[in-house]
């Protein structure tokens, strides 16, 4: 055992550390992208089939093994068909993040302004609303329960969606980046027995979604005429337009945009090379 550890330490290069870090980062990002989507259930199903493939070989179940073997001959094509939406979204994000971080941050800051303005106006007019802002966890499952919109976020558009005359006013809107992706969406209600029993359906839905995902929800109570922000099951109550804007800017990390991925990798490479020169 000691010899093995010694050989491992001697054969381990600085580049291997970089290699492991890059792979870990890619796996982490992919897992975040599929959280909250149907891809999770499909991935579990594929895992069960994979386990069955190896078990059938060990137990000499020839027919089962032959069937699963033929299935996995087309594995790549199956993955592409099953996960086409998630793969498209992942490639889009991976393509945008490295070079357009500052541009996206500007667009999101504009979105935050529009959401804050809409929430304040609706609170003043006592119009109930649920506005969900997607972060890392995918919300496609919930988007599919509503109607696709795909429009730039504007205060006037948000206001019109939640008017009583609108057929979509009872559900939530879901915002991805600076786009209003879907409206009239159904959200899971919180099952926490400790929350206030007097809270309405909108409040429970906002809390329920943020208990399951990392989304941020802007909630407008028509009864109280107040705007709240909900995150991680916790509610920040009765906020002004400025407070909504500042809170969302902080929660979405728009004050300090994430460093582009190529810059992070370049910095890591520079560190590795610096250590090699020292050695």
The 3-state secondary structure of the chain reads: CHHHHHHHHHHCCHHHHHHHHHHHHHHHHHHHHHCCCCHHHHHHHHHHHHHHHHHHHHCCCHHHHHHHHHHHHCHHHHHHHHCHHHHHHHHHHHHHHHHHHHHHHHHHHHHHHHHHHHHHHHHHCCCCEEEEECCCCCCHHHHCCCEEEEEECCHHHHHHHCCCCCCCCCCEEEEECCEEEEEEECCCCCCCCCCCCCCCHHHHHHHHHHHHCCCEEEEEECCCCEEEEEECCEEECCCCHHHHHHHHHHHCCCCCCCCCHHHHHHHHHHHHHHHHHHC
Q: What is the rounded average pLDDT of the residues 154-179?
A: 94
The residues spanned by each domain of the chain are 2-85, 101-251
Q: What is the rounded average pLDDT of the residues 206-233?
A: 92
* Backbone dihedral angles phi then psi of residue 23, each to the nearest 5 degrees: -65, -45
Confidence of residue 257 (pLDDT cuts 50, 70, 90): very low
pLDDT at 215: 93
Confidence of residue 118 (pLDDT cuts 50, 70, 90): very high
Q: Who has greater pLDDT, 150 or 191?
A: 150
Structure tokens at 89: 């979204």
Q: Hey, which residues does 240 pair with through a beta bridge?
A: none
pLDDT at 269: 44
Q: What is the rounded average pLDDT of the residues 105-133?
A: 94
Whole-number average pLDDT of the chain: 81
State if pTM tops 0.85: no
pLDDT at 123: 96
pLDDT at 28: 79
pLDDT at 272: 42
Q: Percent of the chain having pLDDT more than 70?
A: 75
Q: What is the rounded average pLDDT of the residues 204-217?
A: 92
Greatest mean pLDDT among 3-7, 155-159, 261-265 lies in: 155-159
Q: Percent of the chain having pLDDT more than 90?
A: 39
Q: What is the rounded average pLDDT of the residues 133-159?
A: 92
The span from the CA of 34 to the CA of 83, in Å, is: 9
CATH topology of domain 101-251: YojJ-like (1 (3.40.1700)
> Dihedral of CA 146/147/148/152: which sign?
negative
pLDDT at 275: 42
Confidence of residue 136 (pLDDT cuts 50, 70, 90): confident
């Amino acid at each position: 055992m000691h010899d093995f550890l010694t050989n491992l330490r001697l054969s381990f290069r600085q580049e291997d550390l970089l290699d492991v870090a890059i792979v870990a980062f890619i796996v982490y990002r992919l897992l975040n992208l599929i959280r909250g989507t149907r891809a999770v259930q499909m991935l579990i199903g594929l895992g069960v089939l994979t386990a069955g493939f190896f078990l059938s070989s060990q137990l000499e179940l020839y027919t089962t093994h032959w069937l699963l073997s033929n299935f996995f001959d087309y594995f790549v094509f199956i993955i592409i068909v099953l996960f086409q939406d998630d793969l498209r979204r992942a490639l889009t994000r991976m393509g945008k993040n490295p070079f357009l971080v500052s541009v996206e941050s500007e667009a999101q800051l504009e979105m935050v302004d529009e959401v804050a303005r809409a929430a304040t106006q609706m609170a003043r007019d006592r119009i109930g609303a649920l506005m969900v802002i997607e972060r890392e966890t995918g919300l496609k499952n919930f988007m599919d329960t509503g109607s696709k919109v795909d429009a730039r976020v504007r205060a006037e558009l948000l206001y019109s969606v939640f008017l009583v005359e609108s057929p979509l006013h009872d559900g939530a809107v879901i915002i991805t980046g600076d786009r209003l992706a879907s409206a009239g969406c159904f959200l899971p209600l919180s099952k926490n027995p400790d929350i206030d029993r007097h809270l309405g359906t909108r409040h429970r839905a906002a809390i329920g979604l943020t208990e399951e995902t990392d989304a941020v929800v802007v909630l407008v109570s028509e009864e109280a005429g107040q705007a709240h922000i909900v995150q991680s099951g916790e509610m920040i109550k009765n906020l002004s337009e400025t407070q909504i804007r500042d809170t969302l800017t902080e929660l979405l990390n728009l004050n300090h945009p994430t460093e582009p991925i190529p810059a992070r990798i370049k910095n890591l490479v520079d560190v590795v090379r610096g250590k090699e020169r020292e050695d």
